[in-house]
Amino acid sequence: MLRLKDKIALITGASSGIGRVTADLFAQEGATVVAADLNAQAGEAVVTSLRERNATAHFIRTDISQENDAERLAAEAVKVYGRIDILINSAAVFVLKGLEATPQDWRLSLDVNVMGTALVTKHVAERMKQGGGAIVNLASISSFVAQPNFITYSATKGAILQMTRNMALDLAPYNIRVNAVCPGTILTPTVERYMAQQGMTLDQINAAEGAKTFLKRIGQPREVAHAILFLASDEASYITGASLLVDGGYTAQ
């Protein structure tokens, strides 16, 4: 049985990493996917790939930090498919700085990760209110623990965690559930670029970062996508305002 049959799912940051794998998984589970991303070429490639596998998909180039774009994204998704049932706020930038962060660093991190998530949710939720729906925000282990030289990133992920709780409270009267998934270190293109820069192998990154977890390895994007799928599906119908850690036990220590 397809878990998202006949659902319309909007996924930001859908061109790579966890967002892209989530788009693939949602399509496999029967969802119509609206993929949003700033990278038009990569986003179109995702949609082409989904259509080649007989999925229904549509790409909308979006800069989520701009309210006009966020509003246009929600409006176009509804114009094309009639409604939005699921929103996955996956788009993010990774500004990893400590106290040396410049005002420009802070603006980029806050504009995309915090304000972008808020703006997309604002305009999608307005269009969800009549029929209800599910929203999943991508937070992080960085929402919970301190990490060296992570102030800019961790601040945004801490904000997303609290935003999730407040959104869940405010949108509950409209039967809209809002939850957060909080990944640990996941083998995304960002981590792969870091490995390449450092000349590290997968065994070495597992030894360095995976060793900090109970399971002694870093995670795979699909492992996070399955957690997102659960919270977005009707199987999680009595879960809202929650945060699901997908971190191999990192934060349980």
Residues tagged active-site = 153
Phi, psi of 57 (to 5 degrees): -150, 155
Which parts of the chain fold into alpha helices (H)? 17-28, 40-52, 67-81, 103-109, 117-128, 151-171, 189-198, 202-208, 221-232
**Cβ-proximal residues to 196 (8 Å cutoff; 6+ apart), any chain:** none
Q: Are the CB atoms for 149 and 96 separated by under 8 Å? A: yes
Pairing label, strands 243-246, 57-61: unpaired
Those residues whose C-beta lies under 8 Å from the C-beta of residue 65, and which sit 6 or more positions away, are 111, 112, 115, 116, 119
How many Cβ atoms are within 10 Å of 26's Cβ, its own excluded? Answer: 29
